[in-house]
Chains A and B, each alone.
Chain A
């Protein structure tokens, strides 16, 4: 207890020491020296932890967001997955005007529902929130008493440990704390005993601090309002050089970048670049942005530009190939393809560029679906690829977006006033009853008067109409 007081007095002395020295004529003692002289290492460092527990279903992304919010209060924030955040608050009690005040501020800081508890050890704070005890305990000496009635489940020990303890009648934390240490360690392992020591503060409980992921974020307010794209790009170009340097020194790349333009008499506009592969070079990004700006245009003069990157991802800076891709000796177009795709996406929009994939379904509307283009090549003999139940030539190359009704003459299909010649069929497709998009169709290959080969079907449900569904082309 004496050591604690000494530590608590330390900041005051630090502040007072130089002034006192100057007044009495003694040589001033630098505060840093005083700090070093303080026996910090020998005394257990006093800590005061808050645990904030959120709903059980909280996602890790949301948890990290709350951890960033917690960093408003203290630099020492740790994640306690899956659903809690730990804050060490002893260092910032004075800033927030004492524990009662800080508790009140914290209660308003996080979105409900949450549970909040304060304790001198992080594990105890967690145990209190897990057993829904909104307590605030300042002293380690009070800890064991407050913990005693709580159930063992709050410690989240493995099930077999809890069951074995329950078998000998130990169901609360108080009971387990009363067990003889040596025997307990022998039966349940030294790790379990360490947990108990950390719970009541007999042993330090180091936690890894949460480090928020880094992003690039810059704002620039040009001296004059920018009225055309070229001026905007010119203002942005030093920012992109800086971004490139930012990425280079971290050996990282980005896959998304957002530019927000603030206008004079218009709501701010946002331009988001999404990249197929991590980008490292500013010139490439600026070119994509130019394409996107040329597509959307500027609705009003620009007063401010804000550049925000997405999370940084691992990326390797590699050298350009000697051969152009596709050239004799040149390899796959891995280096060139992403920028080609990004250019198309930047100018035409995200959805305009797709790949093609098979789905395991017999309905023509579903078997072929657009996918995002794959940069890597799917491994040969991919087991997830559906096998092909059709022989070549049984399915058309083109499919109409929706079946087009055909004319009819005496229940016989016609196109442009001429009867179609049926070449092969019928092939009956009757499936999909389980998801409400049932089809009952007889498919035929037919030829029209012009000689084109068509894929047509007759609906087996009334009114038994004929439809054109594809071209063999």
Chain B
């Protein structure tokens, strides 16, 4: 009775389940879908890591580094058991209409104004009260980054740290390290360090931006 297509579709869906490990994947990492198919294909495990330190190197603020995470923030914040999405030491005001329009549950956002930002970030990571912790760091030593990596493992919260592109020359203990350059309708993402991800730059288009 049933055709081949009807059977293969549920199987495909099952195979895409993040907790299912297939030999084809180089790294067995639990991931969240990033919301961009091209990026999922390039990232190890098919998405953003569920724990660990993600270092994002940006030439300057406002080049698309936060929009890149909007689909993930929306997905995590709208879960019924959603925890905080913490934004620590953001360089400018977060503008609520953009987040609301992206489908983010605003009641789950927590903005922490603090400099230096390392202490609140470590609290956010260790307390396991946050789903995601975004942090803008100015100067940070490798020793402090290693401390953050330990903290992410303890609280099962991924830390996304934005740093200046000049930090590219420094060694980093981050789980994932990527650099971002702006494009007219999106960003170009280059994975600098990953466990089994693609080295090719990925061009992403933000579908919500008007052409």
Say whether B62 contacts A471, CB under 8 Å.
Answer: yes
Q: Render A328-366 as a binary contact track against B, CB cut-off 8 A, 1 for contact.
A: 001111001101110110011001111111100000100
A332 to B80, CA, bound (A): 8
What residue in chain A is nearest B101 (Cβ atoms)? Answer: A392
Say whether A373 contacts B110, CB under 8 Å.
Answer: yes
A86 to B83, CA, bound (A): 51
Of the residues B67, B94, B119, B156, contact of A356 by C-beta under 8 Å: B94
Say whether B129 contacts A325, CB under 8 Å.
Answer: yes
Q: Is B111 an interface residue (CB 8 A)?
A: yes
Q: Is B18 an interface residue (CB 8 A)?
A: no
Say whether B184 contacts A348, CB under 8 Å.
Answer: no
Q: Which of B126-151 contact A (CB under 8 A)?
A: 127-131
A470 to B67, CA, bound (A): 13
* Residues from chain B with Cβ under 8 Å of A56 in the complex: none
Q: Is A164 an interface residue (CB 8 A)?
A: no
Say whether B95 contacts A337, CB under 8 Å.
Answer: no
A327 to B96, CA, bound (A): 29
* Residues from chain B with Cβ under 8 Å of A368 in the complex: 93-97
A368 to B83, CA, bound (A): 21
Of the residues B60, B95, B111, B157, contact of A354 by C-beta under 8 Å: B111
Say whether A337 contacts B83, CB under 8 Å.
Answer: yes
What residue in chain B is nearest A327 (Cβ atoms)? Answer: B156
Say whether B210 contacts A423, CB under 8 Å.
Answer: yes
Say whether B82 contacts A332, CB under 8 Å.
Answer: yes
Say whether A454 contacts B92, CB under 8 Å.
Answer: no
* Residues from chain A with Cβ under 8 Å of B81 in the complex: 325-326, 330-333
A424 to B102, CA, bound (A): 19
Which of A355, A374, A472 lies at the interface centre, i.e. has the most chain B CB atoms within 10 A of its CB? A472
Of the residues B63, B114, B210, contact of A473 by C-beta under 8 Å: B63
Q: Is B84 an interface residue (CB 8 A)?
A: yes
* Residues from chain B with Cβ under 8 Å of A238 in the complex: none
Say whether B124 contacts A340, CB under 8 Å.
Answer: yes
What residue in chain B is nearest A401 (Cβ atoms)? Answer: B93
Q: Which of B54-90 contact A (CB under 8 A)?
A: 59-67, 70, 80-84, 90
Q: Which of A3-11, A103-111, A189-197, A444-452 contacts B (4 or more CB under 8 A)?
A: A444-452
Say whether B113 contacts A471, CB under 8 Å.
Answer: no
A368 to B114, CA, bound (A): 20
Which of B92, B95, B209 lies at the interface centre, i.e. has the most chain A CB atoms within 10 A of its CB? B95
Q: How many residues of B contact A (CB 8 A)?
A: 58
Q: A452-B63, A472-B64, A473-B63 are in contact. Are A344 and B120 (CB under 8 A)?
A: yes
A330 to B98, CA, bound (A): 31
Say whether A333 contacts B209, CB under 8 Å.
Answer: no
By DSSP majority rule, is chain A's interface helix, strand, loop, or mixed?
mixed
Say whether B83 contacts A392, CB under 8 Å.
Answer: no
Which of B96, B119, B208 lies at the interface centre, i.e. has the most chain A CB atoms within 10 A of its CB? B96
What residue in chain A is nearest B64 (Cβ atoms)? Answer: A473
Q: A336-B129, A388-B101 are in contact. Are A397 and B96 (CB under 8 A)?
A: no
What residue in chain B is nearest A364 (Cβ atoms)? Answer: B95
A343 to B70, CA, bound (A): 27
* Residues from chain B with Cβ under 8 Å of A374 in the complex: 107
A470 to B111, CA, bound (A): 18
Say whether A400 contacts B93, CB under 8 Å.
Answer: yes
Q: Is B123 an interface residue (CB 8 A)?
A: yes
Of the residues A377, A447, A470, contact of B95 by C-beta under 8 Å: A470
Say whether A473 contacts B84, CB under 8 Å.
Answer: no
Say whether B97 contacts A326, CB under 8 Å.
Answer: no
* Residues from chain B with Cβ under 8 Å of A433 in the complex: none
Say whether A324 contacts B128, CB under 8 Å.
Answer: yes
Q: A398-B61, A398-B93, A473-B61 are in contact. Are A337 and B106 (CB under 8 A)?
A: no
User: Smallest distance from the beta carbon of B161 to chain A beta carbons, Å?
Assistant: 16
* Residues from chain B with Cβ under 8 Å of A394 in the complex: 101, 210
Q: Is B32 an interface residue (CB 8 A)?
A: no
Q: A390-B101, A393-B208, A395-B101 are in contact. Are A326 and B128 (CB under 8 A)?
A: yes
10 cross-chain pairs, A with B, having the tightest CB-CB distances, nearest first: A471-B62, A451-B182, A368-B96, A393-B208, A340-B129, A392-B208, A340-B127, A392-B101, A399-B95, A395-B97
| 23 pairs of residues in contact across A and B, judged by CB atoms under 8 Å | A324-B156, A326-B128, A326-B156, A331-B81, A332-B82, A333-B83, A348-B114, A352-B113, A353-B113, A354-B111, A355-B106, A356-B109, A358-B96, A377-B108, A390-B101, A395-B98, A397-B95, A399-B92, A451-B183, A452-B60, A452-B64, A453-B182, A473-B66
Q: Contacts A337-B129, A395-B95 known; list 15 others, CB within 8 Å.
A: A326-B131, A326-B157, A332-B80, A343-B123, A348-B120, A352-B114, A369-B96, A377-B105, A392-B98, A392-B208, A398-B95, A452-B64, A472-B209, A473-B66, A473-B67
